[in-house]
Amino acid sequence: MGTIHNLIEAKGKRAALDVAGGDRERRAIEAAAAYMAEEQSEIAFLFSGWAHAALPHRRIPDDALWRIETEHVTLLVEPGRRPLPGGENAWVGVPYGSRARLIMLYLQSEALRTNNRNVELGRSLSDWLGRLGIPLGGKSYRDVKEQASRISRCRLSFHIQAGGRTGLINQNILDTAMFMGDNSDQGSLFVETAKLSESFFEQLKKHPVPIEESAISAINNNSMALDVYCWLAYRLHVLNKPKAVSWQALRVQFSPNVKHLFHFRSHFKDNLALALAVYPAARVEENEHGLTLFPSSPPIAPKHQRLLGN
């Protein structure tokens, strides 16, 4: 357990905050304390491709394609359209931000839990978001609705290279929309179920990454921290020796739209601190060249991964 976690466990959150060395450490202490306060955590899942390349953090133009190309994965997300009166069509835009990631986590986790690509929505999704501290009312509801519409309509392509082999997923995430009257003023109700596309569901079953729901809850408003946590959860436990990752490689993976490496490094360090706050077993060292990753225990012990059917 890291220094922050040891201090919180020994002295409590208030004592840890009293000796914090700045805003970054204070935010990490708050996240670590929230994570440690959870007595029992459920397991969530995501497709391993998302650990290599993720959705944008902020809104991009509604007609823009989102592309990330890393060492092993190229991700393309194409925006969808919705019909307008008079025969016109409007771009909906690709999903972005923390809310899109939380909705995606719910869809993937429920599909694996039930072994069914038909995922219950309505109260089930609302309850899950509530457990993560996301109230479904006011602006929060509108944000969830907008991201659900974008997820329902976008099309993604994962081109994966690993071990000399290549694979391609080229499919909508969902076969059905998540809202009645999708993206209209009257579209205020979830449909009963949403159906993951068959190819995406098959890849999810073959390549799931188990993560802790309590960790997600503690950093639920920080899209990059969520991405870093999921990446570490996927990456660290399969290492058999230390692995160096350059700042440039990290920028390409986590913030390809940020032009200046200096700006990226500062922002990334903030989010790395949050990710490590909710993954106490992670062993990561920072240096002038980037990060060094060390073999670490996974956030979910293998004996608790029976939901995967292994």
What's the whole-model pTM score?
0.90
Query: Domain extents for the chain?
Result: 1-37, 47-208
d(CA 233, CA 175): 29
Chain centroid offset of residue 177 CA: 21
Q: Are strands 118-120 and 243-246 parallel, antiparallel or unpaired?
A: unpaired
How many helices (H) does the chain have, and how many strands (E)? Answer: 12, 13
Span 57-111, pLDDT tens digits: 999 999 999 999 988 889 999 999 988 888 889 999 999 999 999 999 999 999 9
Span 210-254, pLDDT tens digits: 999 999 999 999 999 999 999 999 999 999 999 999 999 999 999
Do residues 36 and 215 make contact, with C-beta atoms less than 8 angstroms apart? Answer: no
Average pLDDT in the 292-306 region?
79
